[in-house]
Amino acid sequence: MKTVFAVFGDPIEHSMSPKMHNAAFTDLGMDCEYHAFRVSQDSLRDALIGAKAMGFGGVNLTVPLKEEALNIVDADPLAAMIGAVNTVDFKDGMRGYNTDGIGAKRALADAGVDVAGARVLIVGAGGAARAIGFQFANDGADITIANRTEKRAHDLARDVSSVGTAKGTGLADLKVLISKADILVNTTTVGMHPNTDQTIATADDMHPDLTVFDIVYNPLETQLLKEAKAAGATAVNGVMMLVHQGAEAFRVWNNVEPPVDVMKNAVLEALGA
């Protein structure tokens, strides 16, 4: 009998997770399947209880369910600090994890970039910024969070300061902030399909020693990354964050090392790359 895994969200049609995880299961010869289910916030508790009752191996959560899950599952300390759960394991009750920050850290590591001791400028103050901010600050980075609504940046920086060094600011001095940064992380949707001509910064704002990490993965090369290359900076797209956060969930569920390259290729194929 196959073990079922799933991703819950609303909307959910865009998710790459089924292709990514099913490719990994096939590669490892595991008798498992991964499916996407549309689940509303109001239905999340019932959906998780039902998944556990039916013997699901585990569940991923995406927008808008990550925060609501904190009221339902037993979150590990990092997920509790971040305030969001994207992975639920059923081996011992309903245990919640957040693998987004780990995914971002490993995506940069793949590009030869170490966040420890780095000056990291995160643009945006939403869920992804929160996960990345906590992870990178915990790993020893000096975090600056810049956001259009400055209060949200200050609030997030205050929370992140519980595990490391962080400060918040608005976007008025973004060019100056970029000039002082080692790593620029875009956690906003600016530049995402279909608005592919948009960018948070241009080549004139950047310097060659900068690493520009855009968590957007559709398109694979955003306008921000094109600008980074024009400036001679290191450009890192969002595909490997997606892959590594999925790979970490795979480890949590199965205690098996996932085939990361197989998962990456499945995502790239789905994106038409």
**Residues involved in catalysis:** 66
- Four-point Cα dihedral 95, 264, 228, 140, nearest 10: 30
User: What is the Cα–Cα distance from 158 to 143, expressed in whole angstroms?
Assistant: 11
Cα separation of 160 and 172, whole Å?
A: 22
CA distance linking residue 245 with residue 15, whole number of Å: 13
- For residue 185, what are the CA distances in angstroms to 133, 162, 212, 222? 10, 21, 6, 13
Distance CA 184, CA 186 (A): 7
Q: How far apart are CA 127 and CA 152, in angstroms?
A: 12
Quote the CA–CA distance of 240 and 273 in Å, as a whole number: 14
